[in-house]
Amino acid sequence: MPDLLVPLFNLPEIENVKGIWIGRPLAHQSPRILSFIRENFSEGWEAEVRVGFSSIPPTILVAVEQESGKPSGFCCWDCTAKGFLGPIGTLESVRGRGIGRVLVLSCLRSMREAGYGYAIIGDAGPVDFFKSICDARVIEGSTPGIYGNPLS
């Protein structure tokens, strides 16, 4: 899949999702978040998100069901490569409620506040998802991009 380029100077407004808290986890919450990602997504994504916990504050946002305190999604940046957003995931049971949109837009806003002018979404699986929520543009010639090393 290609990488996408997202300008950060004209981001849409963020509308909260009822009953969902979006924010940065604290370092002591990293075991909970990392096991959530390993169990519901993949070991590879767990490894990438672990990088985000090496910054203070972490370059990770999580979506939490306010009533139960349980995580339902995550998104991060500066984990795969500098200036890259992702991975992102929401639990199957909560998809379609706008949580993915808020996570992406909140991460993009944090990247802008950190001084980036553009974000790159690496190896973007659901390209239309990203295009529907921000001004994401396909980067020609970006496959396999940074993912092209031969390690099997």
Ligand X SMILES: CC(C)(COP(=O)(O)OP(=O)(O)OC[C@H]1O[C@@H](n2cnc3c(N)ncnc32)[C@H](O)[C@@H]1OP(=O)(O)O)[C@@H](O)C(=O)NCCC(=O)NCCS
Residues contributing to the site for ligand X (CB under 6 A): 86-90, 95-101, 124-126, 128-129, 132-133
Q: Which residue is nearest to ligand X (CB)?
A: 100
Q: Is 108 helix (H, G, I), strand (E, B) or coil?
A: helix
Least Å distance between CB 78 and ligand X?
15
Question: Between 19 and 26, whose beta carbon lies closer to ligand X?
Answer: 19
Question: Between 8 and 120, whose beta carbon lies closer to ligand X?
Answer: 120
Least Å distance between CB 121 and ligand X?
7
Least Å distance between CB 125 and ligand X?
4
In terms of DSSP bridges, do strands 118-121 and 84-90 run parallel, antiparallel, or are they unpaired?
parallel
| Cα–chain center distance at 56 | 17
| Cα–chain center distance at 47 | 14
Distance CA 152, CA 124 (A): 20
